Amino acid sequence: MTGTPAPVPARATVGIVGGGPAGLLLARLLHQAGVDCVVLESRDRAYVEQRQRAGILEQGTVDALRSSGAGERLDREGLAHDGIELRWDRRAQRVDFPSLTGGHRVWVYAQTEVVKDLVALQLRDGAPLLFDARVSSVTGAGTDRPVIHYAHGGADHTVVCDYVVGCDGFHGVTRKAVPEGELRTVGRSYPYSWLGILADVAPSNEELVYAHSPRGFALLSMRSPAVSRLYLQVPNGTDPAAWTDERIWDELDARFAVDADWTLARGPITQKSVLPMRSSVTEPMRWGRVLLAGDAAHIVPPAGAKGLNLAASDAIVLARAFGQLARTGSTAGLDAYSDTCLRRVWRAEHFSWFMTTTLHTAPDQPAFDTRLQYSQLDRIAASPHAAAELARNYVGMPVG
């Protein structure tokens, strides 16, 4: 039973703009802590629940979903992974997470499924959640009563809040509530993109395979025991329609090539899309009564599998801070929110940059740079310390 949306009040302690993973998880955790909030999402429910993004969950994210009540289907259908495989120069090296991190692992469970689970909980008994609510502006960020202005059902509405949390992405309206010059954003773009496919074929490996190749990077992942998710490095601006199914499988075969008894299973490709890659961090993540979370504050390239997990960790830190405020009246957690999150954000940014630049082949890349990449991968294969650093970053650093 999914229930129906609760009415959106004209007054709330926390107004959340954006119904993606960060906003939905924060709302659920706030509901459990007895803090009233509203969630306003500009898209319809079908769009939100079908939006394809990352599918690797760190232990901290899994723990938060379980404690929020959204872990039942994850535990039943999610795929626990104890490692990844690196491939380069026709060699392969497995990185074993539990032995290198004191027992930690990751889970493969698509963002679409995380969102569906959280939406169902919110509609059943959580905070008000309104789809097709197009927020036009947030005013009063520097006052103690910021206001969210939105349109829904052909009429204009407002919600007066104690705090507004922007979970509406880099181009969302919440960032615009902060006066110009108060936020500093730094970042970089990469000279390549990912062509991602979904295929109705069982994964060709039990764990993810990250492959470096002179032809470009490739990643073997999965959505379920019967559905594979694979990626190819392609030039920026690539039209996915220009790649035939046969060409995609042939290129994946070439990039995953290894001197071992291994075959890439092929099957019907059901979806193709191109994902540009960039990094950015906005500092601080709070100004006045407006706080930023998830993609509104930071973006990472997908090679490190950190985007969804950083969004979740922001929500966890915020929920703790708002819970502290409700219980004790202390704003200490909220005052420390930006610094607390940015420490983890920058660690994840560095790891994502490391995975991206180590495994991808830049256009016209000099042979010297390729040999440096091989040297780094050789070191991971030969040094338990180097392998442990990769594993520790991959499974996720502690939240907070």
* Catalytic residue positions, numbered: 81, 210, 302, 306, 394
Find tokens 């919440």 and name the residue: 174
The Cα angle at residue 198 between residues 197 and 202, in degrees rounded to 5: 125
Q: Residue 50 burial (CB < 10 Å; 0-12/13-18/19+)?
A: exposed
DSSP 7: P
Structural contact between residues 192 and 218, judged by C-beta atoms closer than 8 angstroms: no
The Cα angle at residue 381 between residues 299 and 364, in degrees rounded to 5: 55
70: nearest Cα among 16, 40, 109, 33: 109
277: nearest Cα among 191, 357, 342, 360: 191
CA distance 162 to 177: 15
Structural contact between residues 233 and 360, judged by C-beta atoms closer than 8 angstroms: yes
- Angle separating helix axes 21-32 and 307-328, nearest 10 degrees: 30
Strand order in the sheet with 298-299: 91-96, 83-88, 208-211, 218-224, 227-234, 184-199, 269-283, 298-299
